[in-house]
Homo-oligomer: A and B are copies of this chain.
């Protein structure tokens, strides 16, 4: 069978100028990066913002809680976009950029699969147009300027024990989670505790993804809080005079990246926070541009709907004034079987009862999306081993919610395999039943917001809040940050904070461990359970199998 890489290599890509023309982007607005990638100039983006209102319908693709069986959320986003185009709608796709970290860890690439891919896959998966490197540099410039400020006399009076700004790398590297820095004596500065997060978890990434233009980007960067003085006064990136240079580092990166699917649909791939440890959706600037250019914009939020979709709706849509018209929840019978208690090794055998048990996970995600006022359709990615009875069990599970589960085969068949899904999505858009509202309002207390998400979305019985963490939340409110939404960092494998609790657990306690104020991004990060903001590599990292073949082509990205 042809691998994703074989299919990608066999594809004849169109010059990016042609893809741009399809999207209504003139060649003069493009900054090409090679022949098949381009940035869309910020001048053109600004002109579109000035000249036209958003006209497209926004469709969110999200999924069940992920399992080792795989669900295919990115392929569904791509397949749906291709299918809408093949049905004569003008559709654009808005995805996140892959991170190098998981690429070298367990995950391989993040550009879809089968006949539903964005291309060129090797380049998008590795450095692409350098956006994440720019974000890493901006993050670490701020850190370097901070330690340099301490070194040269600390005029701002930063308390070294109260520094919250961490360094970042786009790498899975557990050894950098917790370090002692500035060791070695006077020339190297004042020793202090520090650590690195993966770039996709950094506040600079969030700021980047939430800014609609360069001016907003620089303002948000300036508001980033790096730590406090001894008497509790916040010190910002602007106080350190770092915001200008950070914005300069990010200037070119802020222009959205245009690529194509294997079927020639235009796709904006831009920004890329993870949904488990960050806010989980592509850039506001790309989504807003797509909504001005296309009739339908298909976008994806990371991991399960409890993480990516909730943050997409409560953080991104709230901040950027977006309102989705429909929501697609992606599932597979195999994955639901795992949620129903079947081991990965036993997925080959039919087990309708397990599918029905596991469908509780799907049902809850669907109901959660309905709580935001969104009409929902389920995309059921078909595997050859799925039996008709298993498929029927999934369809039966969601029918009482007023939701259809549409079989999809875009992995094997491209656009044709998602045509039914596209028709269903079109019907939801045409129905006009969406009445989007965020889950909680701005005025609720920060702890109340965390508890609301835990109760309504995770079905937790309660949130355990250590007293110092509660005090810290109150302090944020006193400082005038009570109005911001919350960004909950939690395992993606369960509605709870325990990755082993699959299905649709009830009555669990969400252990809130730590809160961080991201004043630039405009949210409070609430870290729950054992979640790490810097992943590690597995025993046999994917990197061991990545290399060049005799013609200099990259092998081992999958």
Chain A: residues with CB nearer than 8 A to chain B? 31-35, 39, 42, 100, 104, 122-123, 126-127, 130, 133-134, 136-137, 140-141, 143-145, 147-148, 151-152, 167, 169-184, 187-189, 194, 214, 218, 241-245, 247-249, 251-252, 532, 536-537, 539, 541, 543-548, 552, 554-557
Contact = CB atoms under 8 A, between A and B. Distances in A.
The 8 closest A-B pairs by CB, nearest first: A244-B547, A178-B184, A133-B133, A147-B175, A245-B543, A144-B173, A175-B182, A245-B546
A144 B172 CA distance: 7
A534 to B, nearest CB: 9
B177 A188 contact: yes
A133 B140 CA distance: 13
Contacts of A245: 104, 543-544, 546-547, 556
A254 to B, nearest CB: 9
Contacts of A241: 543-544
Nearest to A153: B539
A16 to B, nearest CB: 10
A544 to B, nearest CB: 4
B171 A251 contact: no
A537 to B, nearest CB: 4
Contacts of A544: 145, 241-242, 244-245
Classify the interface of chain A: helix, strand, loop or mixed.
mixed
B141 A133 contact: no
A442 to B, nearest CB: 30
Given A140-B169, A547-B247, A179 B183 contact: yes
B148 A218 contact: no
A174 B152 contact: no
Contacts of A179: 179-183, 194
Given A32-B32, A244-B547, A546-B248, A176 B181 contact: yes
B171 A151 contact: no
Contacts of A552: 42, 214, 251
B127 A248 contact: no
9 contacts: A122-B248, A126-B248, A133-B133, A141-B171, A144-B171, A147-B174, A148-B537, A214-B548, A218-B547
Nearest to A557: B248
Contacts of A137: 100, 127, 133, 170-171
Nearest to A152: B539
Contacts of A182: 174-175, 177-179
Given A130-B130, A252-B127, A541-B145, A173 B140 contact: yes
